[in-house]
Structure 1
Amino acid sequence: MKNYAITVFYSSSNVYMFVVYLFISLFCLSIFTSCCGTLLRIVIQERSLSLEQISGECIEIGAFFLNMLTYPWGFIGARPYQHPNPRLDHPPILLVHGYGLNRLSMFFVELYLKRKGYPHIWSINHPVLKDDLLLFAQELDQKIQRFCHITKQPSITIIAHSMGGIVSALALEKHQSPINNLITLGTPWRGTKMHILGLGKHVRQMAPEHCIIQGLKVPSIPHLAIWTKIDWILLPHENAIRDGLHNVALEHVGHFSLLFHYRALYLIHQYLQQDDTHTPDTLCHR
């Protein structure tokens, strides 16, 4: 019995130390990756950082670390959410994550929308075994059709982060998916030079010179594009801007911070609450 107790104690200690080391490793990796991205952005674009930008970069490190920490649980499938007492009459909302992440990266966006009373929300994953933006778009179209069938609605709204915006636009363009509104966060509409550091065909397809990016049409539906000037994933950050879209820039917010920041969440809610008769100019960011 004594030997068994000692074995259990050492096993528990090993598990504890493993968790601690994993936590520290992820945190260090988050700092290293974010710092490398920041240095690249400084070299390519800016040459200096203000105090506000440094503060934004620190928040970005925390956001990146949180995404990495929760990443393994994001592969557990989730069913579409239906609010028990919806306060808003709005089409279903589909949440589409970006490169290297999964549906759990959209958790705070989903939680915010639930608390605001939106009736139907579904956060999805891109197919793991596929490596092509066009295949991602095909899979997304199937999920959109399924979501419309489940909710008995003719169309949906999409909120997409980063690469998810490109995939959503391709689903609309190639498959005429029933999307009535598109909101994107940090989407590289004109590609990103950071594709050289990524893995997979779908990353190379986001190169500024790639035919998919070059041939991508401006979505023909109402569209809000939220972007940030300290986005180290999107280089240069001006590639998040595209004529024909309603582009809104947030100051001192990073690529991953867009998924958590109250200003981005407020903008999303404000945009969704606009009447069809309102123009995009009625939006303000604060």
Structure 2
Amino acid sequence: MKVTRAVLPFLPLCQRLLPSRLAGLSLTLLKATALEIAILAGHLLLYPSGIIQEQRSPAPGTRTGAGSGLDPDDIAHDSGGESDASRLPVPVHPPVVLLHGFIDNRSVFVLLRRSLAQHGRQQVESLNYSPLTCDIRTAAELLGRHIEEICERTGRHEVDIVGHSLGGLIARYYVQRLGGDVRVRTLVTLGTPHSGTAVVPLMNAHPIVRQMRPGSAVIEELRERAPHCRTRFVSFWSDLDQLMDPLETACIEHPDLLAQNVRVSGIGHLALPVHPAVAAGIRQALEAEEPGARTAAHTNGLTVA
């Protein structure tokens, strides 16, 4: 998968002043940094809109009325005035749950959510966990309760999860350590420190950051055997991710897990949930059939350049 890159006006000058490989790396890093700054600025504007937990809309085909916990008027509104929910088609795909990263909220997924919806994902929900969360295990238990509620409300047995950064680690703990593989068909992680990250030592004052360090109790628990885990994992990692140290920590390396690691080239940590090429890769990962996924489980997957 290739992303067309615009030619910068000063490219010839850089190529004359620097060796070709160094010039290419410098330009790629420069553009990735500029993109990260632009995404951060945009995200700061959107952040207030994502603070409040989103309202849950009823799933197409879901029973309404007394005892259902759903408002028939909401169904009528969502279906263009048609009050008989039974006439709506039942979605083919399982619901997609989006889980944000550290000190963030659901607003980071505005573009990804739109992309998924435009390509047939009728049930996409973004979950917020508290910015005061101090324990990955506790957050994973709360995620499990949310997943059970979603399954009950939508009438589906399984969900797919896309987790950015810490969100991916919380989701993996739920799947691997709390029996969540019964409910999660596919877990896609974006820039998640699966083996722990050593970046920004000054952040160690926060307990959840300490749990994301290499060798922490949580990271060691995720190294333990998981021979019966049924969830398929797809991990997107970037060669310019400023928050992963080392970069390969965002890969899943576990002998018992069905895992595919997808290398993303030329973008940083904040761009992973918003880049259109990554969104296309996520859609492909969610749509993959199980036999094909098993065949490609240990390949490098797609590359975004």
With structure 1 as the length reference, what TM-score do the two structures score?
Answer: 0.77
Structure 1 consecutive aligned stretches of length 4 or more whose deviation exceeds 3 Å: 80-88, 217-220, 281-286
> Could you say which residue in structure 2 is the equivalent of 1:182?
187
Task: Pick from 123, 126, 149 the counterpart of residue 123 of structure 1.
Answer: 126
Distance 2:47 2:192 in 1: 20
Return the match for 1:98 from 88, 97, 101: 101
Q: Give the alignment partner of residue 207 of structure 1, picking from 213, 218, 228.
A: 213
Distance 1:195 1:147, change over 3 A: farther
**CA separation in 1, counterparts of 2:170 and 2:120?**
27
Residue correspondence of structure 1 range 131-170 to structure 2 within 5 A = 131-170=134-173
* CA deviation map 1:120-141 (0-9, x unaligned): 1110101344311111111111
Q: Structure 1 stretches of 5 or more lacking a match? A: 1-45
Deviation of 1:282 (Å): 10
282 and 247 in structure 1: CA distance in 2 versus 1, 3 angstrom threshold:
closer
**Range that drifts further, 75-84 or 220-229:** 75-84
The aligned amino acid for 1:60 is: E
The residue identity in structure 2 corresponding to 1:63 is I
**Aligned counterpart, 1:4:** none
Q: Distance in 2 between matches of 1:102 and 1:86?
A: 31
What is the identity percentage for the equivalent residue pairs of Structure 1 and Structure 2?
28
Q: How does 1:24-103 map to 2 (within 5 A)?
A: 49-81=25-57, 82=59, 89-103=92-106
User: C-alpha deviations, 1:139-166, integer Å up to 9, x for none?
Assistant: 1111011110111111110000001111
Q: TM-score, normalised by structure 2?
A: 0.72
* In 2: Cα distance, 1:164 partner to 1:53 partner: 26
Within 1, Cα distance between the matches of 2:275 and 2:90? 23
1:209 positional shift: 1.9
Q: Distance in 2 between matches of 1:227 and 1:88?
A: 30
Q: CA deviation at 1:57?
A: 1.4
CA distance in 2, matches of 1:249, 1:173: 23
Displacement of 1:49 after TM fit?
4.4
How many Å separate the matches in 2 of 1:111 and 1:269? Answer: 12
Give the whole-Å Cα distance in 2 for the aligned partners of 1:166 and 1:94. Answer: 14
Question: CA separation in 2, counterparts of 1:138 and 1:121?
Answer: 21
